[in-house]
Amino acid sequence: MRICSLLPSATEIVGAIGLAGALVGRSAECDWPPEARRLPVVTAARVDTSTIASLEIDRAVRQALADGRSLYVVDEELIEELAPDVVLAQDLCAVCAVTSGDVSRLCGVDAEVISLDPRGIAGIQASVLELARRLGVPEGGERVVAEMEERIGRIRERVSGLDPVRVFVAEWLDPPFAAGHWVPEMVAHAGGLDVLGVAGQASFPTTWAAVLERKPELVVLAPCGFDAERTAREADPPALPCRVVAVDANAYFSRPAPRIADGIAQLAYLLHPDVVPDPGLPWIEHAPAAASA
């Protein structure tokens, strides 16, 4: 089987279920498992987000969508040359990756297109099981989901009975976005209460004034596609009367893939460090409470 993944979360799932060796092409954003980085890149964003700030990225994306332009360039000839049996895409977010509609418009690509569109943690687990089944390794999907459930269950046990900590998760920096889909669920599993985000719903723009009105005890900067270092470097929130931390959203929060279980463990540590051990994932203290009070 030859798999071409245009979706970072799907690439991660393929690796987790033991089929990394079947991957023949990827999107420019597909960086996990590490061996995927050696694969030919068949699609990339039209906007070079590595060179501009989050406000400029937001403006460029909004303009492209308003104009009806795709945010991604697909190398149709390379995909044809790679001759995949399966192409993995999505329809959840036109900003995040190539959609299945984009793929269906390609000429000469005779491959099964599988779209993954989870909106919550149960949906992520269902995507793992469904993809594993359709790729012929159902046992791999069952193993991955069992590992996720075990890890999340251990965290829930540790925080059970504790008072939930009020949290705002910023899914974008400028303008700030309240996190949506699975992220508020992650907060809840970690022993927190998301003060703005709604589980299962899309993220949405807000203001720091609105965030302050909700009196968060912790602000987690987790902009989609950014790691902790870039987030800490670019973030410039106003003085906030609480801790502010930057995390690696790209790996552990933004992608609907197995490593969100690790993100839950990190959130639980940040919320309840006395009872939950540090899982060792990257995070950076951005604005200590003492400095911003």
Residue-wise pLDDT for 237-285, tens only, equals 898 999 999 999 999 999 999 999 999 999 999 999 999 999 999 999 9
Question: Which tens digits make up the pLDDT trace of 132-155?
Answer: 999 999 999 999 999 999 999 999
Average pLDDT estimate for 222-236:
94
Flag whether pLDDT at 289 surpasses 50: no
Q: What is the pLDDT of residue 98?
A: 60
Question: Which tens digits make up the pLDDT trace of 182-201?
Answer: 999 999 999 999 999 999 99
**Contact residues for 201 (Cβ-Cβ < 8 A; gap 6+):** 180, 181
Longest dimension (CA), the chain: 60
* Domains along the chain with CATH numbers: 3-142 (3.40.50.1980), 162-292 (3.40.50.1980)
- Percentages helix, strand, coil for the chain (3-state, rounded to 5) are 40, 20, 40
Flag whether pLDDT at 166 surpasses 70: yes
Q: How far apart are CA 178 and CA 108, in angstroms?
A: 41
Q: What is the pLDDT of residue 55?
A: 76
Flag whether pLDDT at 94 surpasses 90: no
Q: Tell me the pTM.
A: 0.88
Q: Determine the 3-state secondary structure of 212 from DSSP.
A: helix
> What's the whole-number average pLDDT of the chain?
89
User: What is the bridge-based pairing of β-strands 86-89 and 112-115?
Assistant: parallel
Number of C-beta neighbours around residue 117 at 10 A: 14
Q: How far apart are CA 171 and CA 76, in angstroms?
A: 32
Question: Which tens digits make up the pLDDT trace of 20-73?
Answer: 999 999 998 999 999 999 999 998 776 666 677 777 776 766 666 565 556 667
Q: What is the pLDDT of residue 145?
A: 98
CA dihedral over 240, 242, 247, 249, signed as positive or negative:
negative
Among residues 87, 117, 80, the alpha carbon closest in space to that of 102 is found at 87
Q: What is the pLDDT of residue 106?
A: 57
Q: How far apart are CA 249 and CA 263, in angstroms?
A: 8
From residue 198, give the alpha-carbon distance in Å to each of 30, 94, 114, 188, 279. 27, 20, 27, 11, 26
Is residue 185 within 8 Å of 121, Cβ to Cβ?
yes
